[in-house]
Structure 1
Amino acid sequence: MSNASVNETEASGTTEQLQQERDLKELLEWFQQNDRLPKEIEPLLLRRFYQCMFGDVEETQKLIEVNYALRNRHPRLFIQRDPLDADSRRTFDYADILPLPGLTPDKYKVSLYCFRDFDATKMHHTEDTRAFFMVSDCRFVTPDDPGNTDILSEGEVQVFDMKGTTMRHISRLTISTLRAYIKFLQLAFPVRLRAIHMINCPSYLDRIVSVVKPFISEEVFKLIRFHTQSIDTLYEFVPRAMLPEEYGGEAGSLESLRTQTQKSLADHRDYLMNPDHWVVVKPEKRNGNSWRFFK
């Protein structure tokens, strides 16, 4: 590459960086002045919204408003929470919700979900979904690459291990929670969903799919890949280096990843429970002294 080409590339990169800085400053000012949003937002989370919309400020604003509107419409999932309370402990005692280290070659972040205990009576769908969103919210304010905070994931890959899943588990799904979860994932997630991998699928997979498919858009359903024969097919999409040892990977044991996730939740407890970051309030028109959740 000639010196002229190098200089043009560097100049282009500098221009894009300056534009991003201006856009993020504009978005932060807009956020702080918008009475349909909370008081505060973490800079890294704001960057994720912006990147998710490919740097389009107007579309970023729409995504942000939908995100917080849905959060406040479902306070049991997004507002009334504590990562150290009894409900959370119960979830994390029987299931793992684990962001995996590193990024795929396509710069995707991968998260793993699996049962540790197959007893269906231990499943509490609403509380479990709340735990999922707490782990996600911690991850969204944590750098994807600690060595280079300028790098953000280009999307989200979810891996669900269905080992131990029975129809008794499916019968314990709460339809309102399932609707809220899928709607948020489809319309309000601050990262783009790139793929969902279902591994260790049971023989009655078709019965399970028939229950949840009516709630999933066709676009999202196309992202689901069912690995019915062997976990080996997962390695085509998720490098072994990112997976736990129990899944033939090199990222450490499930126990070590679990410990890291629980530490992150404890470290971010104040953030997760701080209403300034999540709650939208505005005066009632009929009574200037009263306040309510935004709906």
Structure 2
Amino acid sequence: MKLGHEASESRARWPSLTSELMAELQNWAAEHSLPAVPEEQLAIFAHSCYYNREATLRCMETYYRLRANAPEFFCTRDPLLEDVQSTLKALNYCRLPRPDKDGNIVVFHSLRDTNPSAYVFNTAVKVLFMMMDACLYHDGCTPGYVFLFDMKGVRISHLTRLSITGIRRFFEYLQEANPVRLKAIHVINCVWFIDKVLALIRPFMKKELMDILHLHSGDVSLVYQHIPPECLPKDFGGQLDDVETYHAENGRKMVELRDYFLEEEQLYRSYRSVSNKNRLSCSDTVSSHHNGNSDGS
């Protein structure tokens, strides 16, 4: 299995990705029935955890365990299937082309269809994680990521489309397994019932995630001090092309990566824990945490 960039590129830019560290991670992968993990992917894990060995191994364990045992998010990740295509018609997913001043990639997400019946939470999360995988496939190790969520069109009845189990697993993956340096989450056009949204999700959010969550209920220009106009689509007074253009581009890229998604799914289906050679059940409790330093290169 190949990614769309070379490990040598990452190691040249980030010297802390040493041969010794890569060898340790590859040994861990082999012990967990994952001998085919590409070096590029191992570098992504290590970089996201600031090269801390223990944190990287915890991240990898949670990443592969959830992917093997959370079928609602990680099963049948075929971009041509009806559920994925329907979600791409209902929601916007964009990797914006211009990083912020710190080199962080900006990922945008919003509703296209505001009818709550068009919103399927599990598939929405599945496609979001597929888009993140597509970013990592092409970009490899980067300074970080910034999420920009637009709540325009969200109704209180959208909350009935959520499930506690789904929310819990989403935040478990986001905080403990997603192999990126998440620097900020900005939510624009916050709705009047944002307090109810927070009451629903706050129990699953660590303090570190709450600290980087920024809510903007006023004019969209309030976000400019964090994400300047030159990094934003023109839909929000920015200098880039419109959201529709980048969403369509993202959809095409996901289809181009169809073979990669299917091959990677076969890889993580083979995951086995060392303590239990049988595949973990979906009800297994989380015991590891994705912790990395906030400093470092």
TM over 0.5: yes
Please give the alpha-carbon distance, in whole angstroms, between the structure 2 residues aligned to 1:64 and 1:262. Answer: 27
Please give the alpha-carbon distance, in whole angstroms, between the structure 2 residues aligned to 1:96 and 1:186. Answer: 22
Q: What's the offset of the Cα at 1:174?
A: 1.8
The secondary structure found in structure 1 opposite 2:165 is: helix
Please give the alpha-carbon distance, in whole angstroms, between the structure 1 residues aligned to 2:21 and 2:250. Answer: 29
Q: What's the offset of the Cα at 1:292?
A: 5.9
Contact 1:23 1:57 in 2 (8 A): no
Q: Which of 6, 15, 20 is residue 23 of structure 1 equivalent to?
A: 20
Q: Which of 77, 81, 85 is residue 81 of structure 2 equivalent to?
A: 85
Please list every run of at least 4 consecutive aligned residues from structure 1 whose deviation after the TM superposition is greater than 4 angstroms. none
Identity value in percent: 25
Question: Does residue 167 in structure 1 map to residue 164 in structure 2?
Answer: no
Q: Which of 115, 123, 126 is residue 127 of structure 1 equivalent to?
A: 123
Please give the alpha-carbon distance, in whole angstroms, between the structure 2 residues aligned to 1:181 and 1:21. Answer: 31
Q: 2:132 — aligned with what? A: 136
Contact 2:216 2:223 in 1 (8 A): yes
Q: Which aligned pairs between 1:14-163 and structure 2 lie closer than 5 A?
A: 17=15, 20-23=17-20, 25-27=22-24, 29-35=26-32, 37-143=33-139, 152-163=141-152
Please give the alpha-carbon distance, in whole angstroms, between the structure 1 residues aligned to 2:22 and 2:205. Answer: 35
Amino acid at match of 2:30: Q
Contact 1:198 1:225 in 2 (8 A): yes
CA RMSD of aligned residues (A): 2.6
User: Normalising by structure 2, what TM-score?
Assistant: 0.82
Q: What's the offset of the Cα at 1:42?
A: 3.6
Q: What's the offset of the Cα at 1:27?
A: 4.0
Question: Does residue 223 in structure 1 map to residue 219 in structure 2?
Answer: no
Please give the alpha-carbon distance, in whole angstroms, between the structure 2 residues aligned to 1:279 and 1:39. Answer: 12
Specify which structure has the bigger relative contact order, considering alpha-carbon pairs within 8 angstroms and separated by 6 or more residues: 2
User: Normalising by structure 1, what TM-score?
Assistant: 0.82
Q: 2:267 — aligned with what? A: 277
Equivalences, count? 269
Amino acid at match of 1:111: V
Q: Which segments of 5 or more consecutive residues in structure 2 lack a partner in the other structure? A: 1-10, 282-297
- Higher-Rg structure is 1
Amino acid at match of 1:38: L
Could you tell which deviates more after superposition, 201-210 or 190-199? 201-210
The secondary structure found in structure 2 opposite 1:113 is: strand
